[in-house]
Homo-oligomer: A and B are copies of this chain.
């Protein structure tokens, strides 16, 4: 049977792009469906009836949802490029950082740049923005430390944490440009800045990341237009 791989996503979503990066690293051919989140497709609601969110991967008719779960599925299903390490303890460390980025860093970065927990509200009280920038910086320090002695979070090559960290590797720069907030400075975060440079210039990211000149006005409109 010919294999069928479908991906339902949104071009500007770092969650969607994670899945595209993983599929490209594995060399898996797939058909992409762009979703309109204001008018979700019947297929998206059918494949993800509980969360109704992108990305959704559909492999031979079976849906898989939640980007971290999809990345694990891709790694377990297709041979070739290893996304997670083989060693159980190294796998646990990678999963920890993936969870740390999603649960802690992503909301903090949005709040620092755009305000509010989900980036669509104002900052809280006096100096709210400065406090949010400080909190996000504290989290980024842990990521800076984790890069010590390593080229990528995955070691010599891009792995699970690097894919999940596209919010830092690419979207943060877009958020900074769009919002005027500067978080990732070379004096405070030299390793993270070097990692970002290598990240965006790697061939896999060049063919996976959306055009920056379209993303900046998209997020300015998305976050600021909602206020």
Residues in chain A within 8 A of chain B (CB atoms) = 50, 59, 62, 64-66, 69-70, 72-73, 76-77, 88-89, 91-92, 95-96, 99-100, 142
Q: Which residues of B contact A73 (CB under 8 A)?
A: 88-89, 91-92
| B142→A89 contact, CB < 8 A | no
Q: Which residues of B contact A76 (CB under 8 A)?
A: 88, 91
Write the chain B residue with the least CB distance to A97: B50
Q: Is the interface of A mostly helix, strand, loop or mixed?
A: helix
Closest 3 CB pairs of A and B: A76-B88, A73-B92, A64-B92
Nearest Cβ in chain B — how far from A97, in angstroms?
Answer: 10
- Residues A89 and B59 in contact in the complex (CB < 8 Å), given A66-B99, A69-B99, A95-B72: yes
Q: Which residues of B contact A89 (CB under 8 A)?
A: 59, 62, 64, 73
Integer count of this chain's copies in the complex: 2
| B95→A50 contact, CB < 8 A | no
Q: Which residues of B contact A77 (CB under 8 A)?
A: 88
Q: Which residues of B contact A100 (CB under 8 A)?
A: 50
Question: Which of B50, B91, B99 is close to A142, meaning CB atoms less than 8 Å apart?
Answer: B50
Write the chain B residue with the least CB distance to A70: B92
16 A–B contact pairs at CB < 8 A? A50-B142, A59-B89, A62-B89, A64-B89, A64-B92, A66-B96, A69-B92, A69-B95, A69-B96, A69-B99, A70-B92, A72-B95, A73-B88, A73-B89, A73-B91, A73-B92
Nearest Cβ in chain B — how far from A58, in angstroms?
Answer: 11
Q: What CA separation (Å) do A95 and B64 show in the bound complex?
A: 10
Q: What CA separation (Å) do A100 and B53 show in the bound complex?
A: 13
Q: What CA separation (Å) do A64 and B90 show in the bound complex?
A: 10
| A72→B92 contact, CB < 8 A | yes
Beyond A66-B96, A66-B99, A73-B88: 9 further Cβ-contacts under 8 Å?
Answer: A50-B100, A50-B142, A64-B96, A66-B95, A69-B92, A69-B95, A72-B91, A73-B89, A76-B91
